[in-house]
Amino acid sequence: MKANFFIIPESFKYSGDSQCNIEDKLKNFAIDLQRIKGISGNHIFCHIDVYGVEIIDSETISDILNDPNSSSLDRDIIQQLRIIWELQETSDSIDDICKVYLPSHNEEECYGLIAFNQIEDISPEYQLIYGIDGWFKFKRYFLGIYPQNADFFIDECKIYFEFLYFHEDNKNSVKRIFPSCVKKIIHHLSELNDKFPNSKTSPYNRLNTLDNFNVQYVHDGQAASPQGDIRKKRDLTFVFLNKENCSENVYCELHLKISHDDRNVFSNDRRIYFHEGIKQIQDGKILIGHIGKHL
């Protein structure tokens, strides 16, 4: 699914943020704009009135870009802000952008606003907010609405969960719970991607890491856990390629329980089996061995 993003005057409107926070947002803004532009089919439009908005106390974007020496912002940050000059301008009315484009999503394309702070009267799911939510959350939301088919779904998951690596067999295994659980799958993968890496202990201890993760993990009433039955080892072992392009057997006994589907129907027969990561395989990403029925 391609994404069309708009930057409007409200996107950068000064909200009293500290200069440090504004500079951090500008750094992330420049990085994500390059990421978004790098995905085929995506477009970013900048409204022509953006340049007159006050982005920091008493400084408009036009002032900063045209006379950087007079700005209080760091010169490297100003250089990153110049990326908006590379974007396609739009003269569409703000009303049309917010009330016509944003709700007009379908399985082929979606629309969103890029902003530094929440814009009032615009649904949160249509906004890519720096320092609150991000580009990945925006795309995961629309993947939950338009999962299309199992192959497409897993291929999209590979893009929007940056700390996870998916075994190809997931395209087959996920079919057994697809599409009744797509929003729940995305929720649990998001929890794993966003919270597990920061839960790891140093030195690493698996059980203590799981304890840390489960404190944060918004689950369906059942915490993440190891398998605990060695007789299942063969079923839960998946082959991954390491950096030398050699096959390695990985025992993916850790699992999340997808207790409820998207209609809140309970089942104890759905799992996401994973391994916390091995340095020589995909740079240590969490390895997703199986999404589907309980093995």
Taking the C-alpha atoms of residue 8 and residue 10, their distance in angstroms, rounded to an integer, is: 5
Task: Give CA–CA dist 257/270, Å, rounded.
Answer: 6
Boundaries of every domain in the chain? 2-144, 158-293
Tokens, residue 262? 């998207």
Q: Rounded to an integer, what distance in angstroms lies between the CA atom of residue 268 and that of residue 270?
A: 6
pLDDT score recorded for residue 88: 92
The reported pLDDT for the residue numbered 229 is 84
d(CA 174, CA 178) in angstroms, rounded, equals: 6
What whole-number distance in Å separates Cα of residue 266 and Cα of residue 49? 50
3-state helix, strand, coil in the chain (%, to 5): 40, 20, 35
Helices then strands, each counted (H, E), the chain: 10, 13
Q: Is the distance from CB of 255 to CB of 273 less than 8 angstroms?
A: yes
Maximum C-alpha span of the chain: 69
* Cβ-based neighbour number of residue 27 at 10 Å: 16
- Tell me the whole-structure pTM to 2 decimals: 0.85
Q: For the chain, where are the alpha helices, taking DSSP H only? A: 9-12, 19-37, 61-66, 75-81, 94-96, 135-145, 150-160, 170-173, 182-195, 206-216
Token duo for residue 215? 């404190």
154 Cβ contact partners less than 8 Å away, ≥ 6 residues apart: 166, 170, 171, 174
Closest among 116, 117, 57, 119 to 94, alpha carbons compared: 119
Q: Which of 206, 224, 205 is nearest to 215 (CA)?
A: 224
Question: What is the model's pLDDT at position 132?
Answer: 53
Query: What does the pLDDT read at residue 38?
Result: 78
What letter represents residue 218's amino acid? V
What confidence score (pLDDT) does residue 92 get?
94
Residue 64 φ then ψ, to 5°: -65, -45
What does the block give as tokens for 174?
């996920």
Residue 52 has what pLDDT? 94
pLDDT in tens, the chain (295 residues): 888 999 999 998 898 989 999 999 888 888 888 888 877 788 999 999 999 999 998 899 999 999 999 899 998 989 988 988 889 999 999 999 999 999 999 999 999 999 988 898 899 899 888 765 577 888 899 999 999 999 999 999 998 999 999 999 999 999 999 999 999 999 999 999 999 999 999 999 999 999 999 999 999 999 999 988 889 999 999 999 999 999 999 999 999 999 999 999 999 999 999 999 999 999 999 999 999 999 9
